A and B are shown apart, each in its own frame.
Chain A
Amino acid sequence: MSIGERERDAAAARRAAQARDLLRLEDLHINIRLQRGSIDVLKGVSFRIPAGKTVALVGESGSGKTIAAQAILGILPNVAKITRGRILFRPPDMDGGEFDHAAEPSDGPYMRAMRGGAISMIFQEPMTSLSPLHRVGHQVQEALTLHRASSGREAYEVTVDMLRMVGFPDPKKAYAMYPIELSGGMRQRAMIAMAAICHPALLIADEPTTALDVTIQAQVLALLKDLQEHLSMSLLLITHDFGIVANMADEIVVLYHGEVMEAGNREDIFRRTGHAYTKALMRAVPSLDLQPGERLRGLWEIDRPVPDMMKRRAEARPRPAGPILRVEGLTKTFNVRGKTLFSKAGKPFTAVDDVSFDIRPGECFGIVGESGSGKTTLSKLILRALDPDRGAILFDDGEGLRDVVEFDSKELFDYRKRAQMVFQDPFGSLNPRATVLNILTEPLEIHEACRGAQARQIAEELVRLVGLQPTSLNRFPHSFSGGQRQRIGIARALALSPSILVCDEPVSALDVSVQAQILNLLKKLQAELKLTSIFISHNLAVIKYMADRIAVMRRGRIVELATAAELFCNPSHPYTRQLLEAVPHADLDHPLPFDHFDFKRGEAVPDLELGWDSMFRTPGEGSDRLALRPISDSHFVLTRQSAELRSLAS
């Protein structure tokens, strides 16, 4: 055999090896033991992960995505048992031998060597998935020392290199830091470093970006793609977001209640969607491609008519002619830490910086921004849960605009009746020791609107309105799901028929399958009860779906304020454009520009503004200040006062 022939044979063998699957699930059944009886969470799931490719496992929560990943790693919870089927894994350094993870003892030497060595995993919650008591570098290095025989000094070098690779600008410093010193995005990078440090053949990413802001999400996705290329590993991506799927996956498996609904390559799934469930799931997630006026279709809909009595009460509310709420120059500064015996005062932090806007009666005013942009502080100021340092909040209850900041306790008490709030966390915002009836009638009693049988009647109307049975009045919050609790929260906010409803991220803690339901409910209530609402979200698609006018916030300032149509057709501020660019689209022809998201840069870059046109940059000392300036009647952008605005108008 000539040398040339031998080389050709070797290449062919290599190709054949690459073509073989790294992992195959065959007819996998998993059963979970409950207190009474048991439940099958996976009912005969089969799919494959080819070497070097990305497979997306898609489904709503409870579909069995995570349990499948846990089974592959051999870290199933004690109550879960594999009852049938095989998980065949071909570790790269074992000469093509196949091992059945369903049969291997989960804490035996083989599985321990695979976990973290050949297969590793990153999780959804970067805030809790690292131990708060151990240094970041130590936790990353532990994976290395467990699986690769390397000495202290060498292991340290490898760890620092890995930290640099995932985008820590100063990896040596990051090595010695604790997780609490890092932001969510940086923690997720540390997790990725930990998972990738042994160069695994398979990386399982369980909703890796769900808890992150949209620009950070784009960076983390870019990082995963980059690592995959460098380490030629396979990726099992668990997600519910078809935008991410379209940008990352080679093959897609759609899971529903433990069964595979549809599986295929990206072209098949996106261009020739077969299964009705896949279509429904794609439609249930709000997307930027939704046309104005188009209705989001949830997986399960609730549609109850609004009772006449509530409509009448809403009609009876005084409606001002001008704006119902006007915010002028609102500023709030927090002292990071007050000066105490033990510490010096921290540098004050301006959470809300000179914010002004009007809200017209009956409109939905959207506030969008990433974490730390001051949107929640702003909502608390409007409700006077916090007192502003400067500025005015003018509220019109049919008697002209009056400053909420100047209200005495009696006036403030009345204002509370007019402005109500729906909170983000449906679990923390309902008193676990009060029945739904108590929760709904408490506002009525506090404000002495009514009590007894009449209050009960109102409570019944409210639960019907949000699509629950009147029998649920006697139950406690813990017996409801997240979506149902959020509906109770909405009912409570409506009990006093307020003029203004402030919704702070009302769907971000909810499962995708019920998000659409809650959004549609809020939309209907708004239209039929003529509610004025302030809707706060970090999700641009949600804001686009809900809001009439939108304010984009960054570092406490509004950088752009426009009607929804204008904002999305003609985004004028570079920050708005950046945000929009980072949103993944569920469309193969509209991929994320990954090279725009330089993950190596990290996120603590002070000069994010450097790439911007000078008219948007924060000026130095002494020169003109940034101000919100109009480019049309209803479109405002934060620029330097001297800047020429004509170029921005559409």
Chain B
Amino acid sequence: MRALHQLVVHSHDRKRGDTFLMPWDKIALALAGALATGVLMTGAAQAQTDASVLAGTCANCHGTDGNSPGAIPSIAGLPFEYILEQLLAFKADEVPGTTIMGRIAKGYSDEELEALALHFSEIEE
């Protein structure tokens, strides 16, 4: 979970400001724990991973900000839990009929998939 905190905090600082209040709600307990143990400070010092950079290549198939114009599903604004569950299932080869997402999801850590799910859940459709 530590990597996720770094990602979340970083995104918050750089990009989206207060619009992050909603998802923060969802992980408020985890964040409270992180604050208590000082993980956030470590995170700020190592703020290298940027969820919007990770998400950049998703747009190549799912459209800018995950709003797809064509046959590939849109992912913008879907619930955080749903996106994360799907990504983890792709990674584990547990989605029947998958063509390519299994091969792609395996390239990301679980923490990165969480950051991506958070990123796309926050975008308006």
Decide whether A and B are members of one complex: no
Which residue numbers of A lie inside 8 Å of B, CB to CB? none
